[in-house]
């Protein structure tokens, strides 16, 4: 099980990846869609945690790009925009497994990752 974290905030993506690793989950991270695609050239991931709002290519477009290369990939979206109520509908609209709001709760994230991979 390998997770790809993409967020334009380097500090966030890096730290989150480290926290996942501490918990025994292999995670790679990138700070832009471009970097993420480069990473995908060399490594394989089972699930991507994408920030919705990113400069140039946003999370939704990145998802399409990744899906065209790896249709089996699962997705979890993360956003700083919104409140809990909207996300179940929001997530299904964009075809993501889950939609989480920043700041994240690490345990919740791991739970969602596991749930998503089980499907």
Partner 1 sequence: MSYRSMLRPAFWDHADVAAGPYKHLFNFRRMWKSAVLLTAVVALAPLLFMAAADYNVSQKAIEADIHYQTARLVSNTRRSISFFLSEHKSALNFIDKDNTYHALSDPQRLAVLLDNLKKGFGGFTDLGVIDAGGRQHTYVGPYELAGINYSGQDWFQDLKESGVHISEVFLGFRQKPHLLVAVKHDLPDGTFYVLRASIDTQKFNDLLGEVEVSGQGDIFLVNAEGALQTPSRFFGNTLERFPLDVPAYAEKTRVTETHLQAEPLIIGYAYIQETPFILMAVKKKTELMRPWNETRGKLIVFLLVSITLIGCVVLGVSTYLVNQIFDADRRRVATLHRVEYANKMASLGRLSAGVAHEINNPLAIINEKAGLMKDVFTLQHRYAEDPQLLALVDSILSSVERCARITRRLLSFARHSDAKPQVLEIGEVIHEVLGFLGKEAEYRSIGISVDVAPQTPRIHGDRGRLQEIFLNLINNALAALDDGGRLEIGVRPAEDSFICVSVADTGCGIPAADRNRIFEPFFSTKTERGGTGLGLSITYGLVQGLGGRISVESEVGKGTEFKVFLPHQMKIDREDPNENPAGG
Question: What is the binding site for partner 1 (CB under 8 A)?
Answer: 9, 11-12, 15-16, 18-19, 22-23, 53, 80-86, 89, 101-104, 106
Residue 93's contacts (CB-CB under 8 Å, 6 or more residues apart) are none
The helix/strand count (H/E) of the chain reads as: 5, 5
Which residue is associated with the tokens 């730290």? 15
Shortest separation between residue 100's beta carbon and partner 1, angstroms: 11
Nearer to partner 1, 40 or 59 (CB): 59
Closer to partner 1 at the Cβ: 24 or 71?
A: 24
> By C-beta, is 17 or 96 nearer to partner 1?
17
Please state whether 51 falls in left (phi above 0), alpha (psi between -120 and 50) or beta.
Answer: beta
The least CB distance from residue 101 to partner 1, in Å, is: 7
Query: Would the CA dihedral through 57, 63, 67, 70 be positive or negative?
Result: positive
Q: How far apart are CA 24 and CA 52, in angstroms?
A: 26
CB of residue 78 vs partner 1: minimum separation in angstroms?
8
Q: How near is the Cβ of 16 to partner 1 at its closest, in Å?
A: 5
């Amino acid at each position: 099980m390998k997770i790809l974290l993409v967020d334009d905030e380097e500090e966030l993506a890096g730290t989150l990846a480290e926290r996942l690793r501490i918990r025994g989950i292999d995670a790679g991270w990138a700070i832009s869609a471009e970097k993420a695609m480069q990473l995908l050239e060399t490594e394989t991931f089972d699930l991507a945690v994408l920030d919705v709002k990113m400069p140039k290519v946003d999370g939704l477009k990145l998802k399409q790009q990744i899906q065209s290369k790896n249709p089996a990939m699962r997705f979890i979206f993360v956003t700083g925009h919104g409140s809990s109520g909207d996300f179940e509908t929001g997530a299904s609209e964009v075809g993501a497994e889950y939609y989480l709001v920043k700041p994240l709760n690490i345990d919740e994230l791991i739970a969602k990752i596991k749930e998503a991979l089980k499907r």
